[in-house]
């Protein structure tokens, strides 16, 4: 497949990174802003844009994404491209598919933090969008499901692509 751009409009891919959230995490309710997954991306250009795709398997949904799930990139907070797939009442995938522009990121190069969080803007009570992230088959306390084989595991992923 070829991509054809009008003259002078193409962008150049200058960096990529893939991150994995492998923790069988459990989350407590909180009334304050909470950050639960943060990674440092080594930004190459002060004028670049970042395309970010992330997805995290989650379950036990006491409040859903309605409590202000957000992404923070170099301190720019947003909910652009929020993904929330909820096939039934207890499981979901939370993530983002978004382009964050150089104007939103600023001119910082080198390591910039990309952070997933919740309780952004308005918080009226102790909340959380989900209780657990990731799942393992087998048995035990916490994030285990006896209906799934013991070797089964889910992992959250994030892909960052930098364009100049």
Domains in the chain: boundaries: 13-163
Residue 92 has which token pair? 């979901």
pLDDT of residue 9: 52
State the pairing for strand pair 34-43/49-59.
unpaired
Model confidence band, residue 6 (pLDDT cutoffs 50, 70, 90): low
Average pLDDT over residues 95-119: 96
User: pTM for the full model?
Assistant: 0.86
Beta-bridge partners for 111: 42
Is the CB of residue 148 less than 8 Å from the CB of residue 109?
no
Residue 103 has which token pair? 């104007």
pLDDT digits (tens, 9 = 90+) for 120-161: 887 778 888 888 888 888 887 777 878 778 888 889 999 999
DSSP per residue over 1-46, as a string? ------TT----EEEEEEEEE---EE---BSS-EEEEEEEEEE--T
Share of the chain above pLDDT 70, in %: 90
Q: What is the CATH number of domain 13-163?
A: 2.60.120
Residue in the block written with tokens 């909910």? 79
Residue 154's Cβ-count burial label (10 Å; 0-12, 13-18, 19+) is buried
1-15, 39-53, 102-116, range with the lowest pLDDT: 1-15
């Amino acid at each position: 497949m070829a991509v054809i751009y009008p003259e002078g409009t193409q962008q150049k891919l200058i960096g990529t990174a893939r991150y994995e959230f492998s923790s069988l995490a459990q989350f407590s309710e909180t009334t304050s802003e909470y950050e639960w997954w943060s990674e440092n991306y080594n930004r190459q250009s002060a004028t670049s844009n970042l395309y970010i795709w992330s997805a995290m398997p989650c379950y036990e949904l006491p409040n859903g994404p309605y409590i202000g799930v957000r992404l923070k990139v170099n301190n720019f907070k947003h909910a652009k491209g929020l993904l929330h797939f909820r096939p039934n009442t207890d499981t979901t995938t939370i993530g983002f598919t978004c382009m964050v522009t150089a104007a939103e990121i600023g001119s910082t190069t080198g390591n910039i933090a990309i952070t997933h969080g919740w309780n952004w803007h308005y918080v009226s009570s102790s909340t959380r969008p989900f209780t657990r992230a990731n799942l393992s088959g087998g048995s035990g306390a916490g994030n285990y499901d006896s209906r799934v084989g013991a070797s089964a595991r889910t992992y959250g992923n994030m892909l960052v692509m930098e364009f100049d």
